[in-house]
Amino acid sequence: MRNSENKYRCAIIDDDTISVGILTKYISMIPKLTLVKSYTNPLLAIDEIQKQQKLDFLFLDINMEISGLDIASFLSEEVEYIIFVTGHPEHALAAFEVYADNFLVKPVDFQKLLFSVNRAVVTSLSYQ
């Protein structure tokens, strides 16, 4: 899944352009990540992600035209780690029921995002 530079491939799906901008900036600050694409249209995201090389990380909002919970189910085979990033903490339990790797509440703190990425990678390495 990692590209030739050993970076983890990731995408963002969030209908809020401000959130996409913040996540894009944070991802650019993590040397081991490379942003493949960000989407504000969940239907387009599902279609394109299903047609491309498997992603390592998906940063996913919940309250959109299509629920992020449903998107996670649709894309579970195309994504290694799903990290929900949402302003709705009441969806945390449901997120883990669709096998989320983490759940972050907006506004997202860079250190929490970095911790989530590192925890996913370290946990994965410990099972290999």
pLDDT value of position 125: 54
Distance CA 126, CA 60 (A): 25
pLDDT value of position 122: 82
pLDDT grade for 6, boundaries at 50, 70 and 90: confident
Domain boundaries, the chain: 8-22+33-126
The pLDDT tens digits for 14-43 are 999 999 999 999 999 999 999 999 999 999
pLDDT at 128 over 50: no
Among 2-11, 74-83, 98-107, the minimum mean pLDDT is found in 2-11
pTM of the model: 0.92
**Mean pLDDT of all residues in 106-128:** 84
**What is the CATH number assigned to the segment(s) 8-22+33-126?**
3.40.50.2300
Distance CA 11, CA 21 (A): 12
Q: Note the maximum CA span of the chain.
A: 39
The pLDDT tens digits for 52-96 are 999 999 999 999 999 999 999 999 999 999 999 999 999 999 999
Distance CA 107, CA 74 (A): 26
